[in-house]
Amino acid sequence: MHEDILNIQQLVARFANSFDMKDWDGLQACFTESLYTDYSDLRGTPPETISASEYVRLRRESLDHLKLHHLVGNYEVTFPDFDAAACRASMVVWRRSETEEFTTHCMYDFQLARQWGAWKISGITQKVLWSEGVSSIHKGAKA
């Protein structure tokens, strides 16, 4: 189980770092083929299940023009069964254009599935604690 916890922490870190490095293929490799997403706190849109490729396309469209930094920690990992896990993590997301910033302090609840011996993210729920700055620089954020 200790190895599974470490692998899940590494996966969530890779998820966060992929945004910052604009490694969109690496981001897609973090996911199951489709995933549940709930960004209603940030976007004002209802939860949905979408393909991993669509998730990455939408993030790339809304974030590729920005400088990004995701800092993640405070992992809490649980295992409802052998092939399923949940990970709650605290995250700060900095977004910067040439002239403006938008920062979100949030909690993420990740759902994970073991596939072919590796952990993959199958669900993401983001709960915004607070945001600061100019939300309009992030095309996916509600005003």
Domain covering 2-137, topology: Nuclear Transport Factor 2; Chain: A, (3.10.450)
In angstroms, how far apart are the furthest CA atoms of the chain?
Answer: 47
What are the pLDDT tens digits along the chain (143 aa)? 799 999 999 999 999 999 999 999 999 999 999 999 999 998 888 999 999 999 999 999 999 999 999 999 999 999 999 999 999 999 999 999 999 999 999 999 999 999 999 999 999 999 999 999 998 888 767 65
**Nearest Cα residue to 38 out of 142, 125, 139, 140:** 125
pTM above 0.85, yes or no: yes
At 143 the pLDDT is: 56
CA-CA distance, 15 to 5, in Å (whole number)?
Answer: 15
